[in-house]
Structure 1
């Protein structure tokens, strides 16, 4: 790749500097999201909330992120890339300050949602710019850089969050992102340029309303399972309203002249599969990152820092392998990589269904690392393969669609895993009177209930993985 390029205004710029600014901004917002994984049990304790409520800090974040992404697809064509990145970082700073000072869960959630708006701008902007400044034959490398940022955030954030929770509190976690965001703002003033061509696209307000209500209702329905049960009125109403809203949203996008999401990208079967596979990977990745710390801290009684250390090898493997799998994809295509990666992920997730109080932590860390090797073999290569089937004029549309759909699927899937875990745990908890009559037995039964809930959540994750693995065998040999 040449060191210098030319932006949409015909002005030269330093490509390496531009890429560095984008990757640093993306690292900031992804690490901010990832710190919740090891910090959540402690936050639940401090704020006196249960897992069903606490998971909104992740699933609500993902949903708001997903809702913002298609808007970003429009904004990228109306606002210069530089102004868009700077505005997103200011949004991120606002949400971070609010979250760090929040006196209760409600304001903390609002701060997280504002941070999610910024994330919904920065990640698709980074992908669109990387895909446009790299030639098609090198886009596996571009997505490898994207994946490298995701992995590095997972290397640093959970472990540092665990140490912080053990010695300080969760407010310090959010405060630590303020100086990093200020650095990105300063660098963006000089290094960021307009890469995505501008036009006069408008934002369809009705589409935005329908997508928000539709996907939001689906998430609410799935998230309420643990508290109310699958056949309860809130769950059924949420799922029904969400399905209707999403159907109306899809119909409108297919019938108006200027849709918020260009759904014509789904004419490519490989692109459609990349969206589905990405959603599955987001579900099993984010879901495990929430469930495993609950097992380590709540069931096994270990510290937050310890749970971060257990997950550290997996993040390291993903960080090392993302650029490597990008290069492998550029040479061999997607089919063999996807079959091997999803098979590895499915088989290495299966042992988590059988966790016990005596499961060796070393084996747990190794299996978790193998899971992330499987994710690295599929996540970014399948994204690059899907994007390569689209014309360059649809790149920003494609990044908006793939990021929105896999994020929304991931948020709903994560909510399903947590709801299943909470539902199983709640059903197996001992009667309240047992705490007074036999506290020792009550403690054992509560621990068993939590353990069974964790195992049930991983069983659902295995199901998601197995279905996606089966579909990889239908990929054509020359796909991607």
Structure 2
């Protein structure tokens, strides 16, 4: 890479990639608030409409393990522009959908684009920037990645309430077109491509394995853990994923290089990543359940409550990125997890009189905590790897996040359902005159509180693991040692 490309075009390259990443993440979360509206428009059940989220996650989860191969085989330009075209085609199909099948097809096509962009962006940063500058760059990316889901619920609620649902897709199309034009003009290739051969057997195994696990856990929340489909898909998923992992370990050119787990820091950050993702996804499910089912707030009001905290998270992301470069991962993780623990303690005793403002402040505390962890976590894990394993580390990170999100959501919904049912029988026995509506509201409130106790436990476990992270000086020695070993071999 010549000096001109290194210095002059880095910023343009980053702006184009971050814009694509922002639109991809916004698109991913924009439909969540609109699911009940689609049920009315297309006359489908809750189980069917859920495929707009589940299907997106499945395609994403199946595609992510293949991204390391795609990044070896195709150029940065080819991959990025292709992924943006997938987003555009999906948006056009969604906006013009005449039936639910057409809408779902558009959504699945969008998921193909979204599955490529984030791992691609992470790998480009590994190539462009030295380890001591990656924290601040990741922080800037974090702003885009966090700001998109921050505004999505409120924007979606506004569109659904005041305009047609089709504008959820129409509003994205011109911005995607602008990014495609900029990419054609400014985007250059970062890494060299190679004619590596695609291991079809590994692709099939990863697709079936990860697909079944994601589907099984995603369905467990609604169908229940005793459902034969849930049990079968999870068992098949675990068996096939195990076969996939064994094949990768034995392969000379693996689809997903699992030797990344030989690096202690990467393994530690992956474990914390699982716990943090479970907490984050679970909170995004639980809080709206409490607000809408327990307190009678609208989806738009629930979105407004989440907005200040998420905006704060996005604004803090570049700052915590710079702090990572200065102080290292360990103090940031510990600080962030203390904020998360405080925020979880604040919602383990929810009641019918818990104020809107109290919940908003509590969510801001949670989001401050997450801003200390989310992007520094990615940076610390990827910095621990030699450059040639960067794309594999990024693919593993995203695969872990997808699985943790599905598992976290399923487990927290299960805890909530079991506890809500238990409280319902107790309240019915204690007060025979209680109305059905009061009973439903109280059980939702108490069930949410109990589920937050489970999330508090996860936060404490993550804090304990964070203490095993090495200090900045030890971390730098470890990274230097890795680089030296690789340059000798």
Which TM-score applies when normalising by structure 2? 0.88
1:476 — aligned with what? Answer: 470
1:5 — aligned with what? Answer: 5
Deviation at 1:48, TM superposition (A): 5.9
Answer whether contact 2:61 2:211 (CA < 8 A) is retained: no
Tell me, in whole angstroms, the C-alpha distance in 2 between the residues paired with 1:203 and 1:364.
49
2:340 pairs with 1:345: yes
Answer whether contact 1:138 1:330 (CA < 8 A) is retained: yes
2:324 pairs with 1:329: yes
SS in 2 for 1:224: helix
2:179 pairs with 1:184: yes
Which TM-score applies when normalising by structure 1? 0.89
Tell me, in whole angstroms, the C-alpha distance in 2 between the residues paired with 1:197 and 1:442.
64
Tell me, in whole angstroms, the C-alpha distance in 1 between the residues paired with 2:190 and 2:450.
46
Deviation at 1:181, TM superposition (A): 0.9
Q: Deviations over 1:392-432 (max 9, x none)?
A: 122222212212222222233223333444555577779xx
Higher deviation after alignment, 165-174 or 84-93: 165-174
**The one of 444, 450, 456 aligned to 1:450:** 444
Tell me, in whole angstroms, the C-alpha distance in 2 between the residues paired with 1:133 and 1:261.
22
Deviation at 1:337, TM superposition (A): 1.2
**The one of 235, 250, 255 aligned to 2:250:** 255
Q: Deviations over 1:304-352 (max 9, x none)?
A: 3322221111112111111111111111111111112122212312333
Answer whether contact 2:205 2:241 (CA < 8 A) is retained: yes
Distance change >3 Å, CA 171–CA 445, structure 1 → 2: farther
Deviation at 1:196, TM superposition (A): 2.1
1:33 — aligned with what? Answer: 28
Tell me, in whole angstroms, the C-alpha distance in 1 between the residues paired with 2:421 and 2:134.
47
Answer whether contact 1:59 1:414 (CA < 8 A) is retained: no
Higher deviation after alignment, 167-176 or 103-112: 103-112
Answer whether contact 1:165 1:304 (CA < 8 A) is retained: no
Deviation at 1:365, TM superposition (A): 0.8
Deviation at 1:226, TM superposition (A): 3.5
Deviation at 1:296, TM superposition (A): 2.4
Deviation at 1:445, TM superposition (A): 2.0
2:126 pairs with 1:136: no
Q: How does 1:108-119 map to 2 (within 5 A)?
A: 108-119=103-114
1:223 — aligned with what? Answer: 218
Deviation at 1:207, TM superposition (A): 1.3
SS in 1 for 2:372: helix
Tell me, in whole angstroms, the C-alpha distance in 2 between the residues paired with 1:70 and 1:467.
27
1:435 — aligned with what? Answer: none
Tell me, in whole angstroms, the C-alpha distance in 2 between the residues paired with 1:107 and 1:421.
34
SS in 2 for 1:202: coil
Deviation at 1:262, TM superposition (A): 0.9
Q: How does 1:389-468 map to 2 (within 5 A)?
A: 389-422=384-417, 441-468=435-462
Deviation at 1:54, TM superposition (A): 5.1
Distance change >3 Å, CA 277–CA 42, structure 1 → 2: farther
Deviation at 1:272, TM superposition (A): 1.3
Tell me, in whole angstroms, the C-alpha distance in 1 between the residues paired with 2:104 and 2:463.
35
Tell me, in whole angstroms, the C-alpha distance in 2 between the residues paired with 1:416 and 1:286.
11
Tell me, in whole angstroms, the C-alpha distance in 1 between the residues paired with 2:413 and 2:43.
18
Tell me, in whole angstroms, the C-alpha distance in 1 between the residues paired with 2:364 and 2:119.
27
Answer whether contact 2:213 2:403 (CA < 8 A) is retained: no
Tell me, in whole angstroms, the C-alpha distance in 2 between the residues paired with 1:318 and 1:226.
28
Distance change >3 Å, CA 109–CA 428, structure 1 → 2: farther
Tell me, in whole angstroms, the C-alpha distance in 2 between the residues paired with 1:418 and 1:288.
11
Distance change >3 Å, CA 212–CA 462, structure 1 → 2: farther
Higher deviation after alignment, 198-207 or 357-366: 198-207
Q: Deviations over 1:137-190 (max 9, x none)?
A: 101012112211112213322221121122234332122111111111111111
Tell me, in whole angstroms, the C-alpha distance in 2 between the residues paired with 1:255 and 1:397.
16
Tell me, in whole angstroms, the C-alpha distance in 2 between the residues paired with 1:49 and 1:465.
37
SS in 2 for 1:403: helix
Tell me, in whole angstroms, the C-alpha distance in 1 between the residues paired with 2:309 and 2:198.
40
Higher deviation after alignment, 305-314 or 106-115: 106-115
2:352 — aligned with what? Answer: 357
Where do 5+ consecutive residues of structure 1 fail to align? 7-11, 431-437
2:265 — aligned with what? Answer: 270
1:320 — aligned with what? Answer: 315
